Structure 1
Amino acid sequence: MTANHVLYLFGSAAPPVLNIAGVIERAQADSWNVCLGLTPTAARWLDDELPALEELTGHPVRSQYKLPWEPDVWPPTDVAVLAPATFNTINQWALGITEKFIVGFVAEAIGKGIPTVAMPCVNTAYVQHTQFDTSIATLRAMGVHVLYGEGGSVPNEPGKGRPDAYPWHLALHAAAAALSEGNADRP
């Protein structure tokens, strides 16, 4: 893989997002050009780190839609990864509720054929809500590679999460695989 492959890394407000700098560094070590997008709440959690994250990626960190007359500040992407994806983010995406920039992007990515990976970060109380399984099934049916359950993120008991154990490596591996699959389909 060469450094000209662009990865849009999107994160929502779940504790693993606090480790996003290390994930960016790992992705860059694998030659990804990373652009970081966050939900507004995740951006607030990382407010003190945003300048350093912009320096690390070489791109502005985005958490809001741009205004119609503003130019795009990121290069076009090859793959998008949404991780950690909260209960709220997964459900909004599956239902097409796109008030958040990152949800709007990944919803549109499906229609544009941009390979997209999602890895939820939820607890066992949230997954009791029937909409969650419906949303996971909906996203998978639309071609999103959802890393949930065996081979992905597994829900923890409420209050027992271990952000350091979140399997970021699976999301980065899935992004690389999606890129390889996409390139195999090109003439």
Structure 2
Amino acid sequence: MATLYLFGCAAPPVLDISGVIEEAQGRGWDVCLGLTPTAARWLGDALPALEELTGHPVRWEYKLPGEVDVWPWADAILVAPATFNSVNEWALGLTSKFVVGVAAEGIGKRIPTVAMPCVNAAYVQHPQFDLSVATLRGAGVTVLYGPGGFVPNEPGERRPYLWHHALDAVGAIVSPAS
């Protein structure tokens, strides 16, 4: 069974992460869940149930030097929902957050990686966002943004987040049965 690192950032779709884990497991993935610190705070009461669901500790901090890594090696990484902040940090190599650091390192380790942003139309007007998406795509990350992926919503508007597109994209790159 292949291992999927599912990395969620603090955007409303992260609140649906347990269903996404179940769907990924139904597709044959062993899922390890990583969160940004804010997403971990949002899901605080659910963290024990998420650990039970995945069979792995939920992580949002780096391990200490000398500690054994508690997760198996990743066969694929899915960063979703990826916020404006996390996309920009990742593209710029700013790795103070665990999930951003592991995703950045995944590029160098050649771990197939998919990202699906969740940003509003006001944020994407900032010139850095398009540069960051282009940088990540240039580094080999499949970024599901624009037609066929995530299309920005207006500030305050909530539309369904197309998790199945993200899982389909990961499955198209790496078979969970590998």
Give the TM-score category using the shorter length: over 0.9
How far apart, CA to CA, are the structure 2 residues paired with 1:108 and 1:60?
20
List alignment gaps of at least 5 residues for structure 2: none
Q: Which residue identity does 1:126 align to in structure 2?
A: Y
Task: Provide the residue aligned with 2:123 in structure 1.
Answer: 126
Q: Which residue identity does 1:174 align to in structure 2?
A: A
Q: Counterpart of 1:80 in 2: which secondary structure?
A: strand
Q: Which consecutive aligned stretches of 4+ in structure 1 deviate over 3 angstroms post-superposition?
A: none
User: Between Structure 1 and Structure 2, how many residues are aligned?
Assistant: 176
Q: String of CA shifts for 1:56-95, please: whole Å, max 9, x gaps.
A: 0000000000001110000111000000000000000000
Q: String of CA shifts for 1:7-40, please: whole Å, max 9, x gaps.
A: 0000000000000000000000111000000000
How far apart, CA to CA, are the structure 2 residues paired with 1:151 and 1:68?
41
* 2:167 is the alignment partner of 1:172: yes
Task: Provide the residue aligned with 1:99 in structure 2.
Answer: 96
Q: String of CA shifts for 1:81-133, please: whole Å, max 9, x gaps.
A: 00000000000000000000000001000010000000000000000000000
Q: Which residue identity does 2:40 align to in structure 1?
A: A
TM-score of the two chains, using structure 1 as the length reference:
0.93
How far apart, CA to CA, are the structure 1 residues paired with 2:128 and 2:119?
13
TM-score of the two chains, using structure 2 as the length reference:
0.97
Q: Counterpart of 1:107 in 2: which secondary structure?
A: helix
List alignment gaps of at least 5 residues for structure 1: none
> 1:158: how far off?
0.1
* 2:66 is the alignment partner of 1:69: yes
Structure with the greater relative contact order (CA < 8 A, sep ≥ 6): 1 or 2? Answer: 2
* 2:161 is the alignment partner of 1:147: no
> 1:161: how far off?
1.7
Out of 10, 14, 17, the position equivalent to 2:7 is 10
Out of 61, 74, 79, the position equivalent to 2:76 is 79
How far apart, CA to CA, are the structure 2 residues paired with 1:107 and 1:87?
16
Task: Provide the residue aligned with 2:38 in structure 1.
Answer: 41
Q: String of CA shifts for 1:115-157, please: whole Å, max 9, x gaps.
A: 0000000000000000000000000000000000011011000
What percentage of residue pairs aligned between the two structures are identical? 70
Question: Could you say what the CA RMSD is over the residues aligned between the two structures, in angstroms?
Answer: 0.8
How far apart, CA to CA, are the structure 2 residues paired with 1:117 and 1:73?
23
* 2:79 is the alignment partner of 1:57: no
